[in-house]
């Protein structure tokens, strides 16, 4: 059976047999965040957990055919922008860095996970 573009994209994004599908990586970040918070009694990060859950839901709700239909490149760009926002928020919450690299107090209130990247339709 030949490997077409749709099967390869599906494998890379969703297949749990592949060591680093996007879906599995998001789950691993959720698990690590929960462990960080529980093991070290850290506060903060609830908005990050919610954003990761939302991203996982977005992935679960879309088939590879829908993603390819709206544009694989656009969808991967959306994933990258979304993950950059999550990374910036993790850096600010747990390491005191803003997206620009300036020091910020950890656990900033009022710095939302916005702007949330617009998902391709």
pLDDT at 89: 87
Residue keyed to tokens 């993790």:
90
pLDDT at 31: 92
In the chain, the percentage of residues whose pLDDT exceeds 70 is 75
pLDDT tens per residue across span 22-57: 888 888 899 999 998 888 888 888 889 988 988 888
Given a cut of 70, whether residue 62 has pLDDT beyond it is yes
CA 78 vs CA 22, 29, 43, 95, 121: distances in Å: 12, 18, 28, 25, 11
In the chain, the percentage of residues whose pLDDT exceeds 90 is 6
Closest residue by Cα to residue 59 from 6, 18, 20, 14: 14
pLDDT at 100: 59
Given a cut of 60, whether residue 3 has pLDDT beyond it is yes
Domain ranges of the chain: 5-95
- C-alpha 110/C-alpha 47 separation (Å) is 11
């Amino acid at each position: 059976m030949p490997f077409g573009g749709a099967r390869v994209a599906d494998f890379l994004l969703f297949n749990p047999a592949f060591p680093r599908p996007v879906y599995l990586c998001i789950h691993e970040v959720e698990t690590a965040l929960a462990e960080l918070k529980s093991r070290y009694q850290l506060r903060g990060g609830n908005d990050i957990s919610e954003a990761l859950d939302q991203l996982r839901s977005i992935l679960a709700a879309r088939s590879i055919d829908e993603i390819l239909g709206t544009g694989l490149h656009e969808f991967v760009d959306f994933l990258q922008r979304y993950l950059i926002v999550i990374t910036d928020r993790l850096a600010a919450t747990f390491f005191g860095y803003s997206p620009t690299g300036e020091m910020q107090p950890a656990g900033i209130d009022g710095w939302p996970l916005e702007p949330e990247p617009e998902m391709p339709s």
